[in-house]
Structure 1
Amino acid sequence: MDYSHIIVGGGSAGSVLANRLSARGANRVLLLEAGQDTPPGQVPKEIADTYPGTAYFDPRFHWTDLKVRTQVVSHNNPEAAPPPLRKYEQARVLGGGSSINGQMANRGAPTDYDEWAARGAAGWHWDAVLPYFRKVERDLDIADEWHGQDGHITVTRIPRERWCEHSRAAAEAFRQAGFKYLPDQNGPFEDGYFPVTVSIDGKQRMSAALGYLSEQVRQRGNLTISTRTQATGLLFEGTRCVGVTALVDGQEREFRGREIILSSGAIHSPAMLLRNGIGPVGHLREMGIAVRAALPGVGQRLMDHPSIALSSFIRRPARLDDAQSRRHILLGLRYSSGIPEAPQGDMFVCVASKSAWHSVGQQIGSLLAFVNKTYSESGQVRLASTRWQDEPQVEFNLLSDRRDLDRLMAGFRMLAAIQLSGPLAAVTTDPFPAAYSDRVRAIGVVNERNRWLTRAVAALLDGPQALRSWLIERYVVEGFTFRQVMEDEEALEAFIRKATIGVWHASCSCRMGAEDDPMAVVDTEGRVRGIEGLRVVDASIFPVVPCANTNFPVLMTAEKIADAILAAPSPARVLSGADPA
């Protein structure tokens, strides 16, 4: 069977596209997803949970072999030891990141999208994208010109009366530090603290799969959803992409379509292009791949938001209780660093009143800071081999721009002052610089061993202060103490360089741009340069990563491009002379 559209990747973008394109009865749409299905009424409890800390660590929902380097890789000094590889929790499940992420419904700054337009993405300025942000959401709390009430993704905010004392103390510390309270994170963009907007319906996660691929949508006769289906390659006739090869239940299959849309994310979409001869000529020849389209921007300028954390022990009465909320991040802060080049709100802080699902995690709170407006854009995705089974080489090169390092250092000092201020000092003890290390990852896996181990450690941490401080310094702190980084500038820089990670906002590796931009991979409707019948629609086409968690910008992007696809006359209509619908 031939399809009008084959979508490779059932994440946030793929779910939107499958819904919107199949709404036109004349289209025949195939959605391919490597991971498992999450049908209505059968969503795994870990995914449905409004607390994401179990789904996020569950290998059933990951590309388990994917590892990345976050620190800067030196290609000019071959004798230098490369930075360590880190596991990267990229979603492999219907709904993609929206099925396992922190459910943060954050749009970013108007200046982000004006910059997109200035970088060559004509028609993607703020006034052009706001209607699509509104189209995505059904806001349960606010009805005004900034918000939508008819979208597929419900959003809400956890009211202050359901916050734990730790979150309330952080809010009071922000107020005393001079920050303004904002009732709406996604209203007029300004500095201040706010209840975070989240993509839940009050009871469970509202993933893109659940929101856009409802039972009613799944019953459409012109939509086929094939899960546990690994795309292995693309089919071409000359420079036209005409289909996809895939592994289905262990059997190789071919699917042909008028248009192929890659929605596999900022790591796997460029890897698919590279394996099929679309990318930088030098790298393709190095890998022995015939050049189908010379596009030097494929896999280049990968971005993420550099992030660090300051954690502390939460006293028992101030901890988050499930009866209050399963959400662990209730409060956020947006502030301006003041460096001359940066726009307003270039820094972001999340207050996590629980750091993990287990007993120790319930005792540890964190102030998570990330560079909202990062200038580090030298990451890259390259092939490790030509085999589709092998994960690509991924280098984020976080902190490659000194301005990001300086702002994280200043941000850590600011967080320390807030942590030591009266409101938080009253409900916490033993602050320490935190690292998302392999040890933290290992203890975060949900199993009985970790459950019993953390219960035992938690009982000790709730014991005498001296024992708790010794345990935290001996077994929790990794490499740097709070006193070290506060008293020694070199130690603070070393900690930041070592502990900075991204926040799983991989983007910009197949950027859209103007025709005369040699690094642009796609045009403003996601069409791949030099190739007919092939688009990319996901976070990889962002011209620059916005000041936001990337899920809602991805949903907006897919909505906008879906409209462009539906507005274009189909070949059948052109031949018949009919007007486009």
Structure 2
Amino acid sequence: MTATRREWDHGYDVVILGGGVAGCVLASRLSEDPARTVCLVEAGPDYGPDWRSWPPKLLDAHALPRDDVWERHTEVYRIRARVLGGSSCINGCWHTWGSKTDHEQWAEAGGSRWSEAAMEPYRQRAVRQMRLRNVPDRELNVFGRAALAAARELGYGDVDMGTSGAPGCGTPLINALDGVRWNAAFAYLADARFRPNLTVLADALADRLVVRGGQVRGAEVVVAGRHETLTADTYLVACGALGSAGLLLRSGLGPAEHLRRTGIRPEADLPGVGANLTDQPGVFLPLAPTPELNAALTDKEAAGELYVSRMLVRASSAVCPENTWDLHILPTAGDPLFGSLPHGEYEAGVSAFLMKPTSRGTVRLRSADPAAPLDIDPAFLSDPDGHDMAALRSGLEIAERMARTAALKPFAGPPSGRPSCELTDDQLRDRLGTYWHPVGTCAMGPSEDPLTVVDGDGRVRGVVGLRVADASILNTVPAANTQLPVLAAAELLADLVKEADAR
């Protein structure tokens, strides 16, 4: 249901701030109990319960829409969704799973619930709910098929990208159903939104939490220019790795010195809020499509089945530990990610993405105004030991070798000029892109760690009734696209809230 002014005067059992991927999961699972009242707050629009009434750009799984975002015409790493369903409405519909190492790191920080075995039921639950499926054979274009052959030519075996395992090549699980992007709002709220105990409050900007004496007294949201206060027994922050940190900072939860400089009274000195920002940078290696490839892609586009990429390689860099991977090698062919080309011409290339970087960035406030853009510094390739630069160069070496395989030769000319892996550090930094997978800004960990923000249950240190429940609590980024891990994490955190309520 859509909230009315009258309903704002009433409290809820649970208020969820952020209607993205995690927020949709939390709202669905926590409203399953008809005795628990839940309010889901989303800054962007809710286009309604009938998916067919949603904007065509959000439904089209062939492209990456950029209308419902917080900022347009900005640095690529700042792009994030502002719509019910969050990033699942604007991303590439890919779902891959991380490595055993990821779960070891999470379990060390958050306890045994984050182990691979303990999270497996939640992974499976998310796969079912999102209607994830393998890539249909008809959706692989000639370049994708050739890239799979090229990966095998380089010695990579086939692996299941939807589970942990070994390095190798394969196709992701996808939430694209006959060309329709089946987002988290469809998957988790289709039935839940009609429950009388669930309120979906869209176009409502979460300003701050009112925190006094170590307890949350309310959540201030801005609707149609008015400030309204929502109250609850439990407050769940699920605004994403960038937005959740910003909300906590505006609420006086974060590094005290930074808060004072921004004109915000510190309520809890939590230095880790906005620290530990981790994303996955990458470099695109352009290739020259042959006439044969352009013709094949033109036919595929005419049939309505042209997808830029439907396969990848999990690879290990020269600095990667044994028996795992720290790179995604991503061959692509189709419409360019940015800009456009004349009809019948397409972009082709191979990207190398660094999946397990050691560099850490920050999210800070420019002002206390919730409408002001955040101060985001991803700090890509900034680690003093040079680990990330070395790993990225290894990835580009693999990309260069793949581009020169016999399998790809009929479809794309090899890269020209100096090999990317031999470019200077500054030249590589100038060519950096991102995989759009930020995590870590409200990281979970042991209480003795000064940079810890939450415990393994998502509870914020020193604040009663407040949890963070999204990608921001992952202390390390998984060696995967983050949507499936975040879906599974939100499923887990919803169960933890239920358990706490039952005690």
TM-score between the two structures when normalised by the length of structure 2: 0.91
* 2:320/2:326 contact within 8 Å kept: no
Residue 546 (str. 1) matches residue 478 (str. 2): yes
TM-superposed CA distance for 1:282, in Å, is 2.0
What percent of counterpart residues are identical?
A: 32
- Shift of residue 360, structure 1, vs aligned partner: 4.8
Distance 1:62 1:559 in 2: 25
In structure 2, the residue matched to 1:173 is 150
Root-mean-square deviation (CA, aligned residues, Å) is 2.1
- CA offsets per residue over residues 313-348 of structure 1, 9 Å max, x none? 322432431327243211111111242646512111
Task: Using the TM superposition, give the Cα deviation of residue 413 of structure 1 relative to its aligned residue in structure 2, in angstroms.
Answer: 2.2
Q: Which stretch has the larger CA shift, 295-304 or 34-43?
A: 34-43
Match of 1:573 in 2: none
Q: 1:122: how far off?
A: 4.2
Within the candidate set 208, 214, 217, 1:233 is matched to 208
1:411 is displaced (CA, Å) by 1.7
Q: Within 5 Å, which residues of 2 pair with 1:197-346?
A: 197-214=173-190, 216-318=191-293, 319-320=296-297, 321-322=300-301, 323=303, 325-339=305-319, 341=321, 344-346=324-326
Kindly state the Cα deviation for residue 567 of structure 1 after the two structures are TM-superposed: 1.5
Structural mapping, 1:17-96, within 5 Å: 17-39=26-48, 40=50, 41-53=52-64, 55=65, 57-58=66-67, 61-64=68-71, 88-96=78-86
| 2:91 equivalent to 1:101 | yes
User: What amino acid maps onto 2:127 in structure 1?
Assistant: E
Describe the shift of the 1:153–1:566 C-alpha distance in structure 2 as closer, same or farther (beyond 3 A): same
- Which position in structure 1 is the counterpart of 2:380? 398
Q: CA deviation at 1:241?
A: 0.7
Is 1:375 equivalent to 2:309 in the alignment? no
Are 2:139 and 2:306, in contact at CA under 8 Å, matched by a contact in 1? no
Please identify the structure whose Cα radius of gyration is greater. 1
Unaligned runs of 5+ in 2: 1-9
Is the CA contact 1:521–1:528 (under 8 Å) kept in the aligned structure 2? yes
C-alpha change, 1:343 and 1:520, in structure 2 (3 Å) is: farther
Moved more, 405-414 or 321-330: 321-330
- 1:292 is displaced (CA, Å) by 0.6
Distance 1:525 1:369 in 2: 34
Verify the 8 A CA contact 2:404 2:414 in the aligned structure 1: no
In 2: Cα distance, 1:158 partner to 1:201 partner:
10
**1:91: how far off?**
0.5
How many Å apart are 1:430 and its aligned residue? Answer: 6.2
- Contact 1:242/1:259 (8 A) holds in 2: no
Whichever residue aligns with residue 64 of structure 1, its letter is E
TM-score norm. by structure 1 comes to 0.79
Partner of 1:364: 347
Q: Give 2:22's aligned residue.
A: 13
- Out of 421, 445, 454, the residue aligned to residue 522 of structure 1 is 454
Instruction: Indicate yes or no: 2:366 matched with 1:384.
Output: yes
Partner Cα distance (1:8, 1:181) in 2: 40
Q: Is 1:191–2:189 an aligned residue pair? A: no
| Matching residue of 1:348 | 328
Correspondence for 2:412: 428
Shift of 1:234: 1.5
Shift of 1:66: 9.0
Please say if residues 442 and 454 of structure 2, whose CA atoms lie closer than 8 Å, have aligned partners that are also in contact.
yes
Is residue 2:426 matched to residue 1:494? Answer: yes
Instruction: Tell me by how many angstroms 1:20 deviates.
Output: 0.6
In 1: Cα distance, 2:320 partner to 2:197 partner: 53
Note the C-alpha offset of 1:242: 2.5
Question: How many residues are paired up?
Answer: 482
Q: Deviations over 1:195-227 (max 9, x none)?
A: 22212234411211110010x211100001011
